[in-house]
Amino acid sequence: MTPARPTSLITGASAGIGAAFARDLAKRGHDLILTARRADRLEALATELRDAHGGKVTILPCDLANPDASEKLCADIEALGLHVDWLVNNAGYGVPGTFEANAWQTHADFIQVLMTAPAELAWRLLPGMRERRYGRIINVASLAGHVPGSAGHTLYAASKAYLIKFSQSLALENQMLGVHVCALCPGFTWSEFHDVTGTRELMNKLPGFMWQTAEVVVSEGVEAVERGEIVHVTGSVNRFIKALMKLLPDRLTLWLSARESRRYRQLEAAP
């Protein structure tokens, strides 16, 4: 049974797609638990949402790169007497440069945030969803998880492919228990993602029709998980690209990936 006011935990909620999820779900009548590293941004967003929608907004800043962050976050939620009906695993970023150009700790932190934390949060929160016979888990993956990997940003596509497969298995295990799981796969989305990675100038060379707003991505994602869709690629252009990549031979798709990597990927590590 759907709660009167579901409670949604959103990771990486301070900007971009995460903040758009917060605004969308608050508008739909959800109470929110927001987490990210930047407490000041979370405070500002929480104030905005309380003023606009009057719901309960709890902020719990944390850095999911810390191996104990997910356990502590769930303990803090329980200590406040809250439970999570919707989990939006959105926290993520990119690491410019080739694999060997970055320190191992940089890669380890990336794996922790984009792969380990989403799995651990789902593992810790799923039992309550199953018991209540209601839950929604959205793992924000990417079109990158459906196409060949690129030179540079080495682990990004791999992490997104992992989230897609993880979501599929989790959905099949829980679909009879009122818990819907969806891998949301946007393409290029207007946010500060590329500013943080230092690739904005390269990304600005892409044609405008390749881009979507965070608000459109989120709206598609919420509607997809509600109707039980397990993998959702946003936008007709991105769905065409995914379909095309499946039809073309691997050798050709890898050649295309290599060409586009030279045009749009930063192959040096961030300073």
134 flagged as catalytic: no
Report the alpha-carbon distance of residue 139 to residue 149 in Å, rounded: 19
What is the DSSP annotation of 212-264? EEHHHHHHHHHHHHHTT-SEEE-SHHHHHHHHHHHHS-HHHHHHHHHHHHHHH
* Predicted local distance difference test score (pLDDT) of residue 223: 98
Query: pLDDT tens digits for 177-197?
Result: 999 999 999 998 866 554 555
Backbone angles phi, psi at 103, to 5 degrees: -65, 150
CATH class of 7-264: alpha beta
Give the Cα separation of 134 and 211 in Å (integer): 33
pTM for the structure as a whole: 0.89
pLDDT for residue 2: 82
Burial class (CB in 10 A: 0-12, 13-18, 19+), 270: middle
195-224, pLDDT tens digit by residue? 555 555 655 666 566 679 999 999 999 999
Tokens at 52, concatenated? 């606009």
Q: Pick the catalytic residue: 93, 156, 162, 264? A: 156
Parse the chain into domains and list their residue ranges: 7-264
